[in-house]
Each structure stands twice: as C-alpha cells, then as structure tokens.
Amino acid sequence: MIPTPFDYHRASSIDDALKAMAASGGNGQVVAGGHSLVPLMKLRLSEPGLLIDIARIPDLAGIREKGGQIEIGAATVHHAVATSKLLQEKCPIVSEAAATIGDTQVRNRGTLGGSLAHADPSADMPAVMVALDAEIQLKSAKGERTVKATSFFQDLFTVDLQPGEIITAVRFAPVKSAAYVKLYQKASHYAIVGVAAVLAVKGGKIESARIGLTGATTHAVRLSTLEQALAGQSKDTLDKVTSNAGAGLDSVNSDLHASEDYRRAMVGVFVKRAVLAALARA
C-alpha cells in the first residue's frame, strides 16, 4: 500500500505541465483528482517517477459556451459539472450524470478529464460523452488535436491518448432531450449498467437517437443498431425495440457485482428508462 518514490511538480499552466511531461522522458504522469491514479500507485500497478499536478491550472477548469457549443475544461471537478446552471439549463444530462458519481468527496476531487483518460469500464461520463458525440481536445508539446469521444475509448482502460498528451477540454452541442440513468454498485456508485440517451424528437416521435452504454462492455460504446431501431418510435412503442437491447452485444462483462446474463437483461431495462426520461424532456 506504499507507492514507489516519486517527485511532484504542481503545474502553473498547460504549457508548464507539457514541458514537465516532455522533460520527464516518459517517466512523468499527470494527476488531477488522484482518485484513480493514487490507488493504482499504492498497489504499484502504476509507478510514475514524477507526478505533474494539473488540478489547479486555471485554463483547465470551467464550463463555458463557445460558438453554440459547451466546453468543459478537463480539470473541472464533478461537483462543478453537477451544479452548473449552464449545463442544468442547456444540457441537463451532463450535470445529471455528474451528480450520480461516487459521493461528495469523490465529486469534489474527481475530474472530467481524469474520468475520460482513466476509462474505467463502469465510469459514467464516457457513456454521456459518446452519446453527445463530444469532441475531446488533446494537447502535447508537439501540438493539438481533436478526437471524437466515439473513437477515443478503445478497450479496457485504453484510450487514444499518446505519451506526453493531456486532455485539455471536452466540447459538445447542447441538447435538452437527453437523459442518463444507471444501475449502480451500492458502495462506489460506479455503473453496473449505465445508459445515456440523446434524442431528436418531433411530435412525440423519435426522429433520431444516440445511445451510449457503460458498465456492460470493456469500454463505453454507442448502440448503433438500437439507435436505428429507435427512429420512428414513441413512448408507447418502445418495449419492442428496447427489451432485447442487451442480447446483441458481442461480449458483456461478468464480475462479482453482476453476471453477464443479468447485465444483458439490465441493458434493455435501462435503455428504456433513459429513452423515456429523454422523451419527457423533449
């Protein structure tokens, strides 16, 4: 339970963090809330020689509107996302999901960027970001690039993040008719199954849907076959397309919290709940 020795650098700016990363010769790692990294270090599953603390960089925090989109800085803590008036008004799914993360302490330290970079298979925000079709902004000493959330999450704890790169922000178009619901593990609140539904609705009917899933598979995914089947449905016709939503998944997690069969069954239940909640906001 004692990590290997490491140096610590509190970065004052994004450039300062990137410089420290580049100078560390692959030995440095950024820390934000530390809620996932520090336990890994204590188990010696991660042994960085230098921790670069990005939690207090002003340019990495905050929630703002920019060119019709909403941008959230990577070091913004879950509590700020959960209580943001801008998000609650313009894109309530994001604050709704943040409010379900862990407990008060976790929400006050854990960050959006840390959650996305860590890519726990049961984390909430990855499902919301894939359903919103969000863009993830990355920066390294070599420059900047943007990756779609749908291609950022690649496998178990595996994302499209190159050595020396940090997430600086996340951007998405706000949408009201969207909702996130989850069946959660009672002690941690991590999702056993979590579903984010983002809908375009006209006259009570779904025109198009984007459905993000977490907890059931190795990483957050979109359920594209289901999305197509949802087009044209209304709240009265949902059962026939949602009830078997978990059956078509290639491989589904099984652990001490829930068997594969149970998770498959819960995918259908929670897809229906998420879609109904999103329809109610339309």
Ligand X SMILES: Cc1cc2nc3c(=O)[nH]c(=O)nc-3n(C[C@H](O)[C@H](O)[C@H](O)COP(=O)(O)OP(=O)(O)OC[C@H]3O[C@@H](n4cnc5c(N)ncnc54)[C@H](O)[C@@H]3O)c2cc1C
Integer CA distances (angstroms), 225 to 25, 144, 183, 221, in order: 44, 33, 22, 12
Angle at 76 between CA 84 and CA 27, to 5 degrees: 170
Contact residue for ligand X among 11, 61, 166, 198 (CB under 6 A): 166
Quote the least distance from Cβ 37 to ligand X, whole Å: 4
Contact residue for ligand X among 188, 208, 243, 244 (CB under 6 A): 188
Site string for ligand X, 4-33 (x = CB under 6 A): -------------------------xxxxx
- Report which residue type is found at 72: I
Contact 249, 267 (CB under 8 A): yes
Site string for ligand X, 88-117 (x = CB under 6 A): -------------xx---x---xx-xxx-x
Contact residue for ligand X among 118, 222, 263, 264 (CB under 6 A): 118
Contact 111, 60 (CB under 8 A): no
Instruction: Work out whether 127 is an interface residue with ligand X (CB under 6 A).
Output: no
Instruction: Work out whether 189 is an interface residue with ligand X (CB under 6 A).
Output: yes
Could you list the residues that contact ligand X (CB under 6 A)?
29-37, 54, 74, 78, 101-102, 106, 110-111, 113-115, 117-118, 123-125, 161, 166-167, 188-190
